[in-house]
């Protein structure tokens, strides 16, 4: 019962604004098949949408990453530091945040999830 209450509190942390921003970022796109890893040869910079969703821009494609659990301190103004082991960014790699203008104390380490590609919908004429 306590776990359910905590899960509901965590889900309530997403605001209507967060949902609108995420919807806007993915508008006109469709989700593809999830992948476990992405090559680090891509210039991927994470953008936090809320405390449990990251977006990575890769040219015209956006990769959505839903973290397995909420990540305290992860917000649109945080600097996201990714710990990569090997030549790929993979599910279960860790991230942590630094606050802009702060004293440089890192936030908690959080695991990242699967990468879902979102591609622009092709229109036919």
Residue 50 confidence (pLDDT): 92
Q: What is the mean pLDDT of residues 30-49?
A: 90
Q: What is the mean pLDDT of the chain?
A: 83
CA-CA distances (angstroms) from residue 36 to 1, 39, 72, 125? 32, 10, 23, 35
**Does residue 124 have a pLDDT over 80?**
no
Q: What is the mean pLDDT of residues 45-70?
A: 93
8 Å CB contact between 45 and 125: no
Answer whether 0.95 is exceeded by the pTM.
no
Q: What is the mean pLDDT of residues 46-74?
A: 93
CA 121 to chain centre: 21
Q: What is the mean pLDDT of residues 52-72?
A: 94
């Amino acid at each position: 019962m306590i776990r359910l209450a905590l899960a509901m509190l965590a889900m309530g942390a997403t605001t209507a604004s967060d949902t609108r921003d995420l919807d806007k970022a993915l508008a006109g796109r469709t989700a593809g098949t999830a992948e476990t890893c992405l090559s680090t040869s891509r210039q991927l910079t994470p953008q936090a949408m809320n405390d449990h969703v990251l977006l990575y821009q890769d040219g015209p494609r956006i990769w959505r990453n839903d973290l397995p659990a909420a990540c305290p301190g992860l917000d649109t103004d945080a600097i996201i530091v990714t710990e990569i082991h090997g030549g790929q960014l993979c599910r279960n790699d860790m991230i942590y945040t630094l606050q802009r203008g702060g004293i440089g104390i890192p936030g908690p380490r959080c695991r990242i999830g699967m990468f879902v590609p979102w591609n622009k919908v092709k229109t036919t004429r």
